[in-house]
């Protein structure tokens, strides 16, 4: 089953546009977990179990595990998802961007070591930095396009004088992803919820691509505006929320609180359909 097949089925089964981001920051974990050797895994696995019927995807951020030397816990977490929530696809948030044999190794990491269903990538180094990931049939690759951070303007909103029509950089990326780069229908785009007008513009340029939309919740993105700007019959959206769900409670009820926050976010997204 391809990533897009999994996404469609999970979205329909769970009636959900919500992606739960798994960004475990050690100092924000409940105190009863902080001293455990497997704290990151234990925390995220509990969140997965509490939200598996509410999410259309899970998105673990690799840096939160790698910085703690806890890649083994990330491997266990993806195994846990495959066992306990096999209907929910996993997007590995890695934002890799390199060429040649290095890109091949990063692709192996994402799809063979961790067994992710999709990965986030930076397209800055061009087509040959993306192509190695597309050698894995059915796997997804989300290209950074119009990101939610303020510094995204530094490059993404600059005009390309050398390209016909002088599009903004993010518009050019959207056109490439919808067109010549999407050889096997595996590409999607990352567009921040903090820029609903740009979401609408990307959707116009890439009418069929899945859009991964972070920034709802702690970053202040408007859930209803996000849905109105990005969701169409042909183009799915995956709206990510991380901190607002993960850290809904710092107590022993953290998983139940995360479930309540996820349920509220899912319902808000659905109300805007």
pLDDT at site 112: 98
Is 59 among the catalytic positions? no
Of 132 and 194, the one with more pLDDT: 132
Which residue is catalytic, options 31, 59, 95, 139?
95
41-80, pLDDT tens digit by residue?
999 999 999 999 999 999 999 999 999 999 999 999 999 9
pLDDT per position as a tens digit, 80-93: 999 999 999 999 99
Q: Which two tokens stand for residue 51?
A: 């939200």
Pick the residue with more confidence: 212 or 218? Answer: 212
Cβ partners under 8 Å of residue 61, min gap 6: 21, 22, 23, 93, 242
Instruction: Tell me the angle at which helices 39-51 and 254-271 cross, rounded to the nearest 10 degrees.
Output: 40
Q: Do residues 42 and 48 touch, judged by C-beta distance below 8 A?
A: no
Q: Hey, what domains does the chain have and what are their CATH numbers?
A: 3-192+211-271 (3.20.20.70)
For residues 199 and 229, what is the distance between their CA atoms, to the nearest angstrom? 6
Enumerate residues 6+ apart whose C-beta is below 8 A from 120: 91, 92, 93, 94, 95, 96, 141, 142, 143, 144, 190, 212
Q: What is the pTM of this model?
A: 0.96
């Amino acid at each position: 089953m391809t990533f897009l097949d999994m996404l469609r089925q999970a979205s329909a089964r769970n009636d959900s546009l919500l992606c739960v981001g798994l960004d475990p920051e050690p100092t924000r974990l409940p105190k009863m977990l902080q001293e455990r050797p497997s704290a990151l895994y234990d925390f995220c696995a509990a969140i997965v179990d509490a939200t598996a019927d509410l999410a259309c995807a899970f998105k673990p951020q690799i840096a939160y595990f790698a910085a703690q030397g806890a890649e083994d816990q990330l491997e266990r977490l993806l195994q846990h998802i495959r066992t306990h929530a096999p209907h929910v696809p996993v997007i590995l948030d890695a934002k890799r961007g390199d060429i040649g044999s290095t890109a091949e190794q990063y692709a192996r990491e994402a799809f063979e070591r961790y067994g992710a269903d999709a990965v986030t990538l930076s397209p800055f180094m061009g087509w040959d930095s993306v192509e190695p990931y597309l050698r894995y049939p059915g796997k997804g690759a989300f290209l950074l396009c119009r990101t939610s951070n303020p510094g995204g303007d530094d490059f993404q909103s600059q005009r390309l004088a050398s390209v016909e029509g002088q599009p903004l950089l993010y518009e050019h990326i959207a056109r490439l992803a919808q067109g010549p780069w999407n050889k096997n229908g595996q590409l999607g785009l990352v567009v921040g919820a903090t820029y609903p007008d740009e979401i609408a513009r990307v959707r116009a340029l890439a009418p069929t691509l899945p859009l991964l939309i972070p920034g709802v919740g702690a970053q202040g993105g408007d859930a209803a505006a996000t849905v109105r700007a990005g969701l169409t019959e042909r183009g799915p959206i995956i709206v990510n929320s991380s901190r607002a769900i993960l850290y809904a409670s710092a107590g022993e009820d953290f998983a139940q609180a995360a479930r309540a926050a996820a349920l509220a976010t899912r319902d808000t997204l659905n109300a805007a359909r």
